[in-house]
Amino acid sequence: MKSDEIETRLFINGEFVESSDGGSFKLTNPSTLEVFTSVSEATADDVDRAVATAKAAQPGWAALTVEQRGSYFKKLAKLIRERNDDFATLEAMSMGHPKSHFFHAMQCATTIDHYSEAGYDMQGKTSLNTPGYINMTLRQPYGVAAIIIPWNVPLIMVSKKVMPALTVGNTVILKSSEKAPLTSCLFAALVKEAGFPPGVLNVISGFGNVSGAALSSHMDVRVLSFTGSTRTGRMIQQAAAQSNLKEVFLELGGKSPVCIFDDADLERAAQDTQASVQVNSGQTCMATTRVYVQDTVAEKFVALFKSKFEASAKMGDPLDNATTHGPQADKVQFENVMRFLEVGKKEATVALGGDKADREGYYIQPTIFTNVPEDAQIMKQEIFGPVVNINIFSTEEDVLAKANDTEYGLYASVYTKDLDRAMRFAKGMEAGTVGINCTAPTTGKDMPFGGYKGSGSGREGWPQYSMENFLETKSVGMVVAEVCIDPLPGPCKYCAHIGAACGVATRRKQRPFYHVTEEEYRCSMRILQHFLPSQDLTLQTLRKLAKDIDSCGSVEGSPVQIIPQQQEEAAGTANDVEEVGDLHEQLGCLMQDSMGEYRYVGAQSEIAFNAAVCSMKGPPSPEKVIGPSKFAFPPQKPPAPAALLSISTPDQMYLPPRDRCNQYVDRFFEEVHCVYWLYPAEQFYARLDATYADRSVPPSYSWLCSLYSMFALGAASTDESPSNSVSNDNASHIRTTHDYLALAKALVPHIHDEADIDSIRALAILSIALQTFGFRITSYLYLGTGIRIAFSLGLHHDKAPFSQSLMTRQQNRRIWWTLYILDQATASRCGSPNMIDERSLGVLNPGTNTPLGILSVSTSLCRLRKDMIQSIYPQKSSDRRKVSHAKINSFLAALKTWLESVPSHLVWGIPVAPSHKRSIAILHLKYWDATMLLTQPFILYLVLRGQNLSAEKREWFEKLGDTCIDAAKNALVILQTMAADKTISSLITLDVTCAMKVVMVLVLAFVRSNSEELRQEIKTCVALIQGMEQVGFCKTATQELPLRLADLGLWYEQEEQFLNYSQPEFTL
């Protein structure tokens, strides 16, 4: 096909149209690496238009008879068979599938023929088990169905998902993959040629984070079927749950095992398993990529497998019928497989291949790894390339355990002539499909297909499994006794004759339920979010707000609990206390830094609180100065390497070896990015690849600063020897943390000149790194500059030029709210004012490594914390020294309300994806830290001046002190879980500062009670800090904390034992 003959537009309401913003994306032939066409990229507005069209067309389509709908299907199947060669050519050009193995169009046509006559198979049931009634079920279409298909076999996916949805009366929005959209466009052209009514099938192309996300959260889409990665499947399910709870069916990734026993037909087993990996260059979800061979025949099998694997792979142009092995689908897929190959070479033995092919294009050699550790990355993660692992086993029990030791469960196989053993494995293998003496992609047409565990939910297939997915079940009960006649007005004649009460004349007391349009819903929600920015607007919270309006007459925008005026007056001034205000005045004091300057530290800072606890046995400082660190922390300003001073342009940049860079960056995304979102992971890695691939094109100063800041964090655990000079020779020795910090800081003046989004990212990441390594004042200043650049770009008012894409605008919103969270964390650490005022701007969901909705939930907690600091930790002022009992209680109630309103997928303690564990743990750690922040002044006052309190106030102080202790214990549980899960981190200060606060609160509790349980909990928390990676602030805390506790008489340095402790008379 010629480029000008290829259809690339969106298909909406029976017509081909450009995207609403005119946007498009380019397609590159993976064999020649040439761009051969551009495809329209759907926006959220295009999705809305397609859904509206489908919704309008659905009633008419559902009203057709099975024969009428089937007639369109038969025309379409005929047209597809006629265009078989065109489909094969498009698949070869867009994602490299060899024409020699292309059977998809014929299989698609066969499936469409099947569904053209399958409609009558779907029927309801009846029951006469209830006397006097006929009960029945109706099977009815959902309405609008969304189908999101992958790029590896698009035509097969269209036939097995779209056609059953249409058969039973739904209308469909089909979203193709951005890697292979052309076959779906040609399919749409044939749908139009077959005469399908407009709006019945709409086809859009584009990226998942825009059009896919819009479909997943659309309120008018009632059912969604998706095939793709497990990570994307989780995001779709979360979006569906948070919108209209649409039904979702998922067919996800796989890591399929095969177990080959010594009694198997080895020739057949070798042929089947190598073909499974060879199909589509290994780009199939159920490919048999984990091969386990019994030790007695392992050598023979490996030799057979290797010879067949090499012989079957005839690499070449996918358009050539002699080619059997094509390229990977695109650059991203190619580099992903190459990355796994490099990892595999370090983890296992390469028996064949292991590198890219020596030819143009994204070709990869068929690869065999042996002796692969069961916990290796290449054994646990889906590679999606021509790569297979072959390991040896000795017993049934051993191999069955290994085969099931995966989060995937799409397909599994066993080769043996022992029927009993075969059935044991069929029952014991944790997979949706099990092959006995056969393997993937072999399946039964009339069998359901789907996955166990992380490989999906729901089943697809003939004869009825797929159609069942697109039908609702409705129960209907009908009375068969004599019924009322002539019902209106008043009692009917029949009921009057028998003297019975007639219910027909009773009118409805409530208004009927009405559906609202998508636009009405969105406008209403935006108005509510504007006036209630801190509320999670679920049905439960909306009911509560309505009740509050009834009882109080208004609803505050703050999450603080509404307290009626009469209730606050009833509290009276008797519950107002000046003691805490006096304590805060003395906690807010000065601290000398490493440059000899005295810096103010506010009362809300953990520095002031920790210092007050650690110095409670000694006399108070008359000048209100925090004592110096025992280890000269914060650190001295590092000398700038001489070579750095001459660096003025990015073309002189130093970059570490790529494998070391990958370690640093991967760790940043796992431990820091999940808390502070600043970059879309996919775009970041693509940009990083470009930076390493072509160093002749200098990157921006801001991008380079971001990289150096990430390298500084990552290098903390790999520092070998200090380096005070930086060479421009990339082959020189690995740099240290302080080298990278110096490199990053040298670029700051140029970053100020650029003053763009990248500048904000660079200064934020540099601020995080500086705070980790003790430069808290510099961190505070750099973050302030980044926030002011954000102000200048209008991020705080969500302002953007019309030319800016929707995706970029969404990313900028996320960056703004990350700055909001980071600003509060940094200001709290320094005891300084926040730089961001409250703004009413919607909070969007972040991306990789962060669960759906966590940014919004975290921001609402930050708002609440900010309100607490302003109310409970006021600046020195004669008229704001009192803290009311009612105010404290209202904040405690607001914290409880926040915790209860956390979405179910963010609740602490439930099973979550490994990449989300740290994000959720940090969220709940912040909650308990906020509770301690609110109540810690009261337990501190009890220990220092408790004897001065009246009985009434002492009871209240003790209650709040107990709340603080409970919060510390709950925080300790989370920290211990993070340590066990290996998600605790020293790359940001949050983890260790929270752990230190827990220690200080428990020390105060121990002073009050002298409890053995508290003594053990203090030891546990100190040991936890000592067990963390000893870098940056964590290293200093580990060194200093035991000495501070020893000053209090709580720690024997040699024996590591706590003393019994009696409470003296303390003064501050």
User: Which residues does the annotation mark as catalytic?
Assistant: 251, 285
Burial 875-893 (b: 16+ CB within 10 A, else e): eeeeeebebbbbbbbbbbe
- Distance in angstroms (rounded) separating the CA atoms of residues 70 and 112: 9
- Distance in angstroms (rounded) separating the CA atoms of residues 241 and 235: 10
Q: Is the dihedral angle over the CA atoms 1007, 1013, 1018, 1021 positive or is it negative?
A: negative
Q: Which of 574, 603, 641, 609 is nearest to 876 (CA)?
A: 603
Find all residues with CB under 8 Å of 504, minimum gap 6, and list them: 484, 487, 488, 492, 495
Find all residues with CB under 8 Å of 993, minimum gap 6, and list them: 606, 829, 1033
- Distance in angstroms (rounded) separating the CA atoms of residues 636 and 656: 26
Do you find a cis peptide bond into 489, omega within 30 degrees of 0? yes
Q: Which of 643, 635, 595 is nearest to 746 (CA)?
A: 643
Conformation bin of residue 624: beta by default, left when phi > 0, alpha when psi is -120 to 50: left
Residues in a beta bridge with 226: 148, 250
- Distance in angstroms (rounded) separating the CA atoms of residues 181 and 851: 28
Q: Which of 441, 450, 341 is nearest to 386 (CA)?
A: 341
Do you find a cis peptide bond into 373, omega within 30 degrees of 0? no
- Distance in angstroms (rounded) separating the CA atoms of residues 862 and 986: 22
- Distance in angstroms (rounded) separating the CA atoms of residues 750 and 582: 46
Whole-angstrom CA distances from 243 to 216, 888, 911 are: 8, 35, 22
789 token code pair: 């650049």
What strands lie across the sheet with 471-479, from one edge to the other? 126-127, 133-141, 471-479
Number of H helices, E strands in the chain: 37, 25
Angle at 398 between CA 397 and CA 400, to 5 degrees: 65
Q: Which of 364, 316, 308 is nearest to 340 (CA)?
A: 364
- Distance in angstroms (rounded) separating the CA atoms of residues 929 and 829: 12
Question: In terms of C-beta distances under 8 Å and separation of at least 24 residues, what long-range contacts does 432-436 make, across chains too?
Answer: 432/456, 432/459, 433/286, 435/411
Strands in 446-597 per DSSP E: 456-457, 471-479, 576-577, 589-592
* Torsion, Cα of 798, 800, 804, 805 (10° steps): 20
- Distance in angstroms (rounded) separating the CA atoms of residues 505 and 52: 39
- Which three-class secondary structure state does DSSP give residue 592? strand
Q: Which of 255, 304, 250 is nearest to 277 (CA)?
A: 255
How many C-beta neighbours within 10 Å does residue 719 have?
15
- Distance in angstroms (rounded) separating the CA atoms of residues 841 and 796: 8
Q: Are 30 and 330 in contact (CB under 8 A)?
A: yes
